[in-house]
Amino acid sequence: MRTEQVAGKEADIHGSVIESIAVQYHVDEQQVRVIYEGELSKLKTGSRIKSFLPVLCSRHVKEILLHDNMFHHA
């Protein structure tokens, strides 16, 4: 598989996770994207299994949103 295809699939997966978190927590998608990309950058450093990154990153972002009360109650 070509590098561009892998990068495209990874971007699609991360984008889907970001959108899902934004909808679930009623938070602006751009706000989630900023937090997510920051966490992803931290987690990528030294990670061996890249396929776990969306799960780990999602968990970190949700913890940040809950801790900082950044989400809107439905």
Q: Identify the CA nearest to 71 among candidates 30, 36, 39, 25.
A: 25
The structure's pTM equals: 0.84
Task: Report the pLDDT value the prediction gives residue 69, as an integer from 0 to 100.
Answer: 76
Task: Report the pLDDT value the prediction gives residue 70, as an integer from 0 to 100.
Answer: 67
- CA-CA-CA-CA dihedral for 5, 48, 36, 9, to nearest 10: 10
Taking only the tens place, the pLDDT of each residue in 21-47 is: 999 999 999 999 999 999 999 999 888
Instruction: Tell me the backbone φ, ψ of residue 12, rounded to 5 degrees.
Output: -65, -45
Say if residue 51's pLDDT is above 80. yes
Neighbours of 43 (CB within 10 A): 16
Task: Report the pLDDT value the prediction gives residue 60, as an integer from 0 to 100.
Answer: 96
